[in-house]
Amino acid sequence: MSVINYITTIQFDFGAISLLKSECQRVGITKPLIVTDAGVKAAGILQKALDQLGGIVVEVFDQTPSNPTEAAVMAAGKQYQTRGCDGLIAVGGGSAIDCAKGVAIAATHTTCELGQLKTYATIEGGSGLITEKVAPLIAIPTTSGTGSEVARGAIIIVADGRKLGFHSWFLVPKTAICDPELTLGLPAKLTAATGMDAVAHCMETFMAPSFNPPADGIALDGLARAWAHIERATQNGSDREARRQMMSASMQGAMAFQKGLGCVHSLSHSLGGVNPMLHHGTLNAMFLPAIVAFNAQAESIKTEDRMNRMAYAMGLGQSSGADIPAAIKGMNARLGLPTGLAAMGVTSGQFDSIIAGAEADHCHKTNPVIASSHQYAELLTLSM
């Protein structure tokens, strides 16, 4: 069993879910609210978590939507308060974990009334309002994509329709239980989409201009793991080694993206608010080729040879940075992902709303090239 203390405590191994009860005891959770979704419940994974909590009174909120909303956060927050819970366990993908982070704020910082959560959003200046009062959280990821189990942020669609980021070191889960066995039954389409989310995290954080060599190293290694194993995991859901490597890549991408992300995520966050039915990881996969090519012009990318270093990690060759966009498009095709945004139902008539949201997003200013409205329009067109 590997115990990794970097940002938070991570229990990583097949069967690590068996440590759930002891981790609750370690962080002082005696009556948890489990935040999950209907799919995780139907797949039997929720029951696997419940089976480890014998003797502990447990509440369950299983109505997390595919993109977490303020309404879901407030409903779970009220359940947390009325049932006298003292901690949270998130079981699911990034949506369940992010929803639980929203509950950690709402149940301890507000009266759980709809419309109040935006006060704590990063772009509203609310990060400093999130304090150590947040409810303790244990995160158990069931996909390999967002890495939210080791991240300080959450992405939630607030009551006014915006998809906003909430960031605080107090939101980092007290424990991340990373059990690759929980991902063995993940459908191929979801494996591909969440896997490309992990690829995007590793690539974007490596391209971000901030000085953070440890984050760069973690991201580059995560990219190598993800790129080498995503097809295997997608084609054979029972490939244990591929699942292990993808879960590590997902975790590493989120460990590293404290450095910053960029236009891939500013556009994905915005478009996900315009149409909450679109999968975040799939959107990232659609935007990556155009934005990697756009970022190649940045002086910080050129100075540190970042394109070629990514290409080498991806097995494309030492001087193949220019080949990355085509390689990503090829990977998307092999994984069975859409050919572009148009195939996902996106239209040019939505561009103005998407661009406005992207320019306001917290990831906009951490891209190596600050995109103008006109450049965002070009990137959207190229991604169609």
For 101-146, what is each residue's pLDDT tens digit?
999 999 999 766 777 899 999 999 999 999 999 999 999 999 998 8
Average pLDDT rounded to a whole number, residues 236-253: 96
Average pLDDT rounded to a whole number, residues 283-305: 95
Residue with tokens 């990232």: 284
pLDDT of residue 12: 96
Whether 323 has a pLDDT exceeding 90, the answer reads yes
pLDDT of residue 4: 55
For 64-81, what is each residue's pLDDT tens digit?
998 899 999 999 999 999
Torsion of CA 279, 362, 161, 64, to 10 degrees: 50
Asked whether the beta carbons of 135 and 181 are under 8 A apart, the reply is no
The arrangement of strands across the sheet holding 8-12 comes to 2-6, 8-12, 175-178, 137-141, 87-92, 32-35, 59-61
Asked whether the beta carbons of 201 and 259 are under 8 A apart, the reply is no
Dig out the tokens for 114 from the structure. 């709809």
Indicate the SS3 state at residue 251.
Answer: helix
pLDDT of residue 58: 96
Tell me the whole-structure pTM to 2 decimals.
0.92
- If you average pLDDT over every residue of the chain, what do you get? 94
For 355-381, what is each residue's pLDDT tens digit?
999 999 999 999 999 999 999 999 999
